[in-house]
Amino acid sequence: MALSFNMKRPPVKALIYWTTVICVWALIFAVGFIAVFAIDLPDTSSLYKTDRTPSITYLDRSGALIAVRGSQFAPPVKIDDLPDYVPAAFIAIEDRRFYHHFGFDPIGMGRALVRNATKKGGNLAGGSTITQQLARNLFLSADQNIKRKIQELILAVWLEVKFSKKEILALYLNRVYFGAGAYGIEAAAQRYFNKPAKDLTIGESAMLAGMMKGPSRYSPLSDQERARKRTQIVLNEMVDAKVITVAQRDEVFKTGVKVTRTLATEHAQYFVDWLDGELGSMIDLSKISDDLIVETTLDLPIQTDAERAVKAMMARDAKKKVEQAALVAVDGEGRIRAMIGGVSYTDSQFNRAVEAKRQAGSAFKPFVYLTAMESGNYTPISPVVDEEFSIGDWKPENYTKKYLGNITLTTALAQSVNTVAARLANDVGRSNVASTARRLGIESKINTDPAMALGTADVTPIEMAQAYVPFSNGGYKAKAHGIVRIRTAAGKVLFQSNMGANDNRVQVINNPALDYMNIMMREVVRSGTGSGVRLSQFDIAGKTGTTSDYRDAWFVGYTGGFVTAVWVGRDNNTQMAKVTGGGTPAAIWREFMSKALTRIKVSPIPAGPGGGLNETASSAVDDLLNSEASAEAPNIIVEPTPEPKKEEAAPPKNIDDVFEEAQRQSR
């Protein structure tokens, strides 16, 4: 008898059977799939470790924050210590379903896929949850590939199993990167708003949450407008999530969000870059494990004045093909109070104030004249002749292509007469002029060819500023410096500067040469090429500088104990549109100094050793100078002294006799 078997299952049993089979195989596949990608998962034991270099915090001379370099971490904050809207801001913009998923959000991922498939260009939408972002930040690289994404999902699920939602959120806020070297909500609050995280406002919280999309791109330090728009988006999301009310959002719109002023000072970063390079010569950074505090000489209000002056005058003269500028302001002890290394730090981090060596032009001439005054054969009113002459095959030419004839040395410097400077350097010795410049603070190589008197040496703005300091402080050399003290965050002092201390000062200009030079450089401002910088309420002196073909333009000027050097030009060393030292550089200098000098204790330019010339001698010089120079007509040609009439009892004394008589009266 044959047996027959009906192998066909009822539909319900078949469904159960095949569903079970599929699930089993899916489970096997999933386990195998996860095992493959879990083989080289990172070590999760490093969850609470932070591997970083010490941070370096830079403070200005009054203790205000300038910048923080290196990775900055702060003690972790507890979620319960933060206002409710702080973590809620991050959830609203980054992961609205945070409390409802198990590490990853299929709905959010699907929405991101659809959005990316229909989006034309631009940035792609992301579907990462806060847990996924934490897994990525803690354990994974930023590589965008399938393997990394799958590992991110595995680690996100592991985090959800191991920690509560509150703990995950706390880990996220304390470890996420906020740009500018700040890791964690506490460091970010201190960095951007100079306050602890527990005191963050709604607007500040929204701004920090908005930066998660791109810490550098949406930082208020790199692009304030982009940061503002992103903050607005976060605030709208917070309203939609019922985290805040419409009225609270509108109040933020009305009042705005104020970033710490010191961190918005972009150009101070040139100064900090320079100090970064200087630190290694003062302390052994390889042996430092603690965070450092660097107390600097910078004066942030004055630095802001410098930034505004450069920005305003460069914008005004943009049509003149002026591309870049540098500014260094130094006090009488060599402390740098302001430094501008370029028009835009964002566009170029090259620090022209300390790295760009450019020809000094006529701003170099004071070293020539000082050498002459120190020789004992010249005074400010010594007569000279502005005329054509040659040194070998080289013939100097004046900027105006004209010659003034018989003039004094003061007029020659005030009008920046090239022929007189070249002849003077040749007479006193060009090697002696180079020695004078080095003695005062020029450190770059100085050529000694016949044209050196016209400023063919390549120098930096910081060198020019420090070399003019002795003219401003009574004749003492001062090394330009930016660091006062270096200490650890715990207070241990690692370096203390003694620059500028009275017992370390070296006299590099003596009298009468110092007073002679100040007389002449005051005249540059009173009636000469620098007349555009006059500030009637201050005792001002200085010198313009313009190189051939208008490639470089300078103004270096000073009052008592305060010097500012300004340079403008183009990085490719091509010519500007007839920009001279009395033009854009002088305008920047005046705009800056008119503000900066109201912030510091200003004094007249001091006399040198022995008190300098007395009132009688100075009056005699002034009277003679007034007879041959006019503030209203600085380029006037002085006629030769006429022959005396026969009926006069005696001919007038020449100018050197008058000057010598005044000196005798002063003794």
Class of domain 70-118+125-264: mainly alpha
Q: Quick check: is 615 catalytic?
A: no
> Which residues share a beta bridge with 63?
none
Q: What is the largest CA-CA distance in the chain?
A: 170
With H, G, I as helix, E, B as strand and everything else as coil, classify residue 493: strand
The amino acid at residue 58 is Y
Per-residue pLDDT at 2 exceeds 50: no
| Rounded Cα distance, 117 and 113, in Å | 6
Task: Tell me which range, 24-28, 272-276, 524-528, 618-622, is most confidently predicted by mean pLDDT.
Answer: 524-528
Of 551, 512, 550, 546, the residue nearest 528 (C-alpha):
546
The amino acid at residue 651 is P
Please state the pTM of the whole predicted model. Answer: 0.70
CATH of 307-612, one of 1.10.3720.10, 3.40.640.10, 3.40.710.10, 3.30.1330.20: 3.40.710.10
* pLDDT at residue 640, as a whole number: 30
Token pair listed for 560: 């008592």
What mean pLDDT is reported for the chain? 82
Could you report the per-residue pLDDT of 515-555, keeping only the tens digit for each?
999 999 999 999 999 999 999 899 999 999 999 889 999 99
Confidence of residue 635 (pLDDT cuts 50, 70, 90): very low
The amino acid at residue 126 is G
Could you report the per-residue pLDDT of 90-139, keeping only the tens digit for each?
999 988 888 888 776 666 666 656 655 555 444 444 568 888 887 787 76
Could you report the per-residue pLDDT of 155-181, keeping only the tens digit for each?
778 888 888 889 989 989 988 888 877
Q: Quick check: is 362 catalytic?
A: yes
* pLDDT at residue 260, as a whole number: 77
Residue tagged active-site, from 205, 219, 362, 497: 362
Per-residue pLDDT at 254 exceeds 80: yes
Tokens 């590939």, located at residue: 145
* pLDDT at residue 113, as a whole number: 61
Report the share of the chain in percent with pLDDT over 70. 77
User: For 102-111, 293-302, 445-454, 538-547, which range has the lowest pLDDT when averaged over its residues?
Assistant: 102-111
Confidence of residue 613 (pLDDT cuts 50, 70, 90): low
Of 240, 232, 181, the residue nearest 209 (C-alpha):
232
Topology alike, domains 70-118+125-264 and 307-612: no
* pLDDT at residue 437, as a whole number: 98
| Rounded Cα distance, 67 and 306, in Å | 18
* pLDDT at residue 204, as a whole number: 96
Per-residue pLDDT at 31 exceeds 70: no
| Rounded Cα distance, 398 and 401, in Å | 5
* pLDDT at residue 662, as a whole number: 40
Q: What angle do CA 135, 139, 140 make, to 5 degrees?
A: 90
The amino acid at residue 299 is D
CB count in 10 Å sphere of residue 365: 30
DSSP code string of 393-410:
TB----TTS---EEEEHH
Could you report the per-residue pLDDT of 67-103, keeping only the tens digit for each?
887 766 667 889 999 999 999 999 999 888 888 887 7
The region that residue 573 occupies, defined by phi over 0 for left and psi between -120 and 50 for alpha, beta otherwise, is left
What Rg, from alpha-carbon coordinates, does the chain have?
35
Domains of the chain, by residue range, sit at 70-118+125-264, 307-612
CB 524 within 8 A of CB 342: no
Per-residue pLDDT at 412 exceeds 70: yes
Per-residue pLDDT at 378 exceeds 70: yes
Of 613, 621, 625, 622, the residue nearest 658 (C-alpha):
621
Per-residue pLDDT at 148 exceeds 50: yes
CB 346 within 8 A of CB 223: no
Q: What is the mean pLDDT of residues 648-662?
A: 40
CB 444 within 8 A of CB 459: yes
With H, G, I as helix, E, B as strand and everything else as coil, classify residue 549: helix
> Which residues share a beta bridge with 567?
326, 554
pLDDT higher at 200 or 74: 200
Of 520, 469, 470, 476, the residue nearest 501 (C-alpha):
476
Cα→Cα distances 182→67, 73, 225, 528, Å: 11, 6, 21, 51
Per-residue pLDDT at 369 exceeds 60: yes
Token pair listed for 147: 């393997």
Residue tagged active-site, from 94, 186, 295, 333: 94
User: For 29-38, 144-153, 242-251, 523-532, which range has the lowest pLDDT when averaged over its residues?
Assistant: 29-38
